[in-house]
Amino acid sequence: MATINSTIQTALSHRSIRKFSPQPIAAETLQTLFECARAASSSNHLQCVSIIRITDTALREKLKHCASDQQYIVDAAEFLVFCIDFQRHHQILPQAQTDYTEVLMIGCVDSGIMAQNLLLSAESLGLGGVYIGALRNNIAEVGELLGLPQHVIPLVGLCLGYPAQDPPQKPRLPLEVLVSENQYHSLNPQILQQYDQKVADYYWQRNQIEMDWSRNVMKSLNKPVRPHVLAYLQQQGYAKK
């Protein structure tokens, strides 16, 4: 077995944290985390991500309302919003062809890599966090609240702080489902059944609810998924081609 160093242990120990202590994050610590985010890989060195730190309590309350009233947006020591940002590129090249769907994908990938760099680094220092994709429930309102110009999109939020809970890890798909060799392998029904049972046990032990992975997939994807997002993306200059 490979040697488990501190970086690997941090990655393997990840859990979403939704309850935070009132302890603030020191300014120098936050600065270091921003530097870790800045060091993330970037497609073609485009560096098409901006982070907005939300320190205004009233603004956090409004963003909470936009994101299904998740209280930890207000309670966390820090709340960050990661944005796809090609506005500065248009300042350099006004005719930049950022309306292609591929450009939007580049922005999504770069934002995800940067956000994960920051969270993993934070977890290595004893902090915890949870991503807030629910900002996209009201993406246009979030964009207005943050004063985002065209070519900037609020992609995901991140609550960050010192944990005030110790939740169990949520079971992930087994590697034989996740990893294929040379060609794609379809889902094995027997492995799915075994995994569903593990997830069902997790949900019952944690919240006494009846849920497994298959039912979660059906609940999430058996309906339109934020259909309003496309119009906002196009309003901001993306996904037109």
Provide the residue type at 62 as one letter.
K
Written as six digits, the tokens of 219 are 């609940």
| Whether 192 and 104 share a structural domain | no
| Whether 104 and 197 share a structural domain | no
Q: Is residue 239 part of a domain?
A: no
| Whether 44 and 121 share a structural domain | yes
Distance of CA 132 to the CA centre of its chain: 6
| Whether 128 and 16 share a structural domain | yes
| Whether 162 and 191 share a structural domain | no
Q: Is residue 241 part of a domain?
A: no
Name the DSSP letter for residue 230. Answer: H
| Whether 159 and 176 share a structural domain | no
| 167, 191, 209 - which closes a domain | 167
Q: Is residue 232 part of a domain?
A: no
Beta strand 78-85 with 128-132 is unpaired
Name the DSSP letter for residue 236. Answer: T
Q: Where does residue 38 rank: exposed (0-12), middle (13-18), buried (19+ CB within 10 A)?
A: middle
| Whether 102 and 86 share a structural domain | yes
Rounded CA separation 100/91 (Å): 18
Rounded CA separation 157/83 (Å): 9
Closest among 142, 137, 168 to 153, alpha carbons compared? 142
- Structural domains in the chain (count): 2
CA dihedral 235, 110, 158, 12 (to 10 degrees): 150
| Whether 204 and 99 share a structural domain | no
Q: Is residue 148 part of a domain?
A: yes
Domain containing residue 216: 169-223
Q: Is residue 204 part of a domain?
A: yes
Q: Is residue 99 part of a domain?
A: yes
| Whether 120 and 151 share a structural domain | yes
Q: Are 72 and 18 in contact (CB under 8 A)?
A: yes
Q: Are 25 and 159 in contact (CB under 8 A)?
A: no
Q: Are 156 and 131 in contact (CB under 8 A)?
A: yes
Provide the residue type at 119 as one letter.
L
**pTM for this one?**
0.96
Q: What is the pLDDT along the chain (241 residues), one digit of tens a residue?
A: 578 899 999 999 999 999 999 999 999 999 999 999 999 999 999 999 999 999 999 999 999 999 999 999 999 999 999 999 999 999 999 999 999 999 999 999 999 999 999 999 999 999 999 999 999 999 999 999 999 999 999 999 999 999 999 999 999 999 999 999 999 999 999 999 999 999 999 999 988 999 999 999 999 999 999 999 999 999 999 999 9
| Whether 55 and 99 share a structural domain | yes
Residue bearing tokens 């506005």: 87
Determine if residue 107 is left, alpha or beta; phi over 0 gives left, psi from -120 to 50 gives alpha, anything else beta: alpha
Q: Is residue 61 part of a domain?
A: yes
Q: Is residue 59 part of a domain?
A: yes
CATH number of 45's domain:
3.40.109.10
| Whether 160 and 184 share a structural domain | no
| Whether 178 and 152 share a structural domain | no
pLDDT at 1: 59
